[in-house]
A and B are shown apart, each in its own frame.
Chain A
Amino acid sequence: MSDSTQVYRRVMRRETHSPRSVSAVIAAIVLVLVLLAALVGGIWAAVDGAFRATALKASSQVFETLGNSWVVAIAVLLTVVALWLILLAILPGRKRRHATVAGRVALVIDDGVLADGAAYRAAHAAGVPRDQVSATVARNRVDVRVTPISGVSVNQGAVTRAAAEEMRILGSNMPVNLHVEDRGVIA
């Protein structure tokens, strides 16, 4: 990595974390609508006494019609929404991706693609069809599950090494946990 260090660091951070743009824009639009309604209503009530009286009567009627339990339910709903919004703002919002600098380029790979790569290598090393290998990529490790062919043993060291080598080439030095099923299947 040369003078692109700063760019790559920024890109990798942005590509592996959620921007929260959609939820922020929805929250902003709702706020704008509520504030506009309050503004128009407030100004209208300030200059028109008749409207003010009608609005006050209507709002008290709404409270009466709804009843206390419904108002409490709305308040609870608003609290849940508030907590959800604050959590969205505070939590890092990691995406299921891994990023690294691989030689000349910044490499960003979805975890599903990494898992597919590990499974492909593991299947090749184990000598089983690709459908008999599944892999999941967590934040700091790769789990590979191999269902062997009945009566044919799997070289666990070779499979683990192959999957780990694929991870290394793709810039993610995560440890590989291999699990070989006890019961094989007929290929």
Chain B
Amino acid sequence: MNATNRGMNRFVLVFAGLVSLLAAGALLVAVTPNLQELTRVKSWGPPTFHRVMSWTLPVSETQRVAMAPIIAVAVAALVVLLLIKFVFSRGGGRTGTVLSIASDEGTTSVASGVADGVIAAPLRERHDVIAAHTRAFIVAGEETVHIKIRTRRSTDLSQVVETAQRAVAEWDGLTGENTPVVLQLVDRGVRDSFRSEARVR
């Protein structure tokens, strides 16, 4: 779970797909005479190119410069910058604070490690839990606790969930707030499938 803008992911995929389609179409037209006839590219292509390139602006009394290449370079540079910004803006949304309580005397912040100690630690004590850890994220403007639990095979899941619910109730009592909590039971990985059913301490 993170703060990635997923709509933007899909927009970039569509954009890249359309660019690829355009490139494929251009290649096909370039080498297939039938397609050149079908699209009549030879009749409208060169005149359009000359019309676009004839749009010039004066840079001195004797010289004029074509605007189309300049605009194309500017647009391409802008797209490159936006794409680089897109790549570096993926992820995020994690916070080290699970709760902030403001009062007249100041603000009390609770670190996510405290939530891990209260909620995940009792789960880690269970013999049927391989791993349990807590992270905190900002979701819809609210601090949200995310607990990821990996259990052994043939575990009584309802008991694991019950233990987690009790830990969350304890957390609620401790903080006096109802912080949103997400409990996730994840599949065992390939490495976990080789672990023993019993846990030896």
Q: Is the CB of A89 within 8 A of B184?
A: no
Tell me, in angstroms, the Cα distance from A130 to B14 when the chains sit together: 46
Chain B residues closer than 8 Å to A107, beta-carbon distance: 161, 183-185
The answer to whether A169 and B158 touch (CB under 8 A), given A104-B172, A110-B187, is yes
- A24 near B12 (CB under 8 angstroms)? yes
Per the 8 Å Cβ criterion, residues 150-181 of A in contact with B are: 166, 169-170
Chain B interface mostly: helix
Interface residues of B in 1-43 (CB under 8 A from A): 1-2, 4, 6, 8-21, 23-25, 27-28, 30-32
Question: How distant is the Cα of A79 from the Cα of B19 in the complex, in angstroms?
Answer: 10
Size of interface on A: residues with Cβ below 8 Å to B = 68
A51 partner residues in chain B, CB cutoff 8 A: none
Q: Is B86 located at the chain interface by the 8 A CB criterion?
A: yes
Given A72-B31, A116-B153, A166-B157, verify A11-B182 contact (CB < 8 Å). Answer: yes
Residues of A within 8 A of B184 (CB): 15, 107-109
Assembled-state Cα–Cα distance A89/B11 (Å): 7
A113 at the binding interface (Cβ < 8 Å): yes
Contacts of A120 in B (CB 8 A): 154-157
**How far, in angstroms, from A116 to B87 measured CA to CA in the complex?**
38
- B72 within 8 Å of A by Cβ? yes
Residues of A within 8 A of B186 (CB): 110, 113
Residue of B at shortest CB range from A73? B27
Q: Tell me if B69 counts as interface (CB < 8 A to partner A).
A: yes
B77 touches A39 (CB 8 A): yes
Interface of A is mostly: helix
* Chain B contacts for A71, CB-based, 8 A: 27, 30-31
- A138 sits at the interface (CB 8 A): no
Q: How far is the CA of A32 from the CA of B87 in the complex (A)?
A: 10
Is B83 an interface position by the 8 A CB rule?
yes
The answer to whether A10 and B6 touch (CB under 8 A), given A3-B178, A78-B20, is no
Residues of B in contact with A (beta carbons under 8 Å apart): 1-2, 4, 6, 8-21, 23-25, 27-28, 30-32, 69, 72-73, 76-77, 79-80, 83-84, 86-87, 90-91, 139-140, 142, 144, 146, 151, 153-158, 161, 164-165, 168-169, 172, 178, 180-188
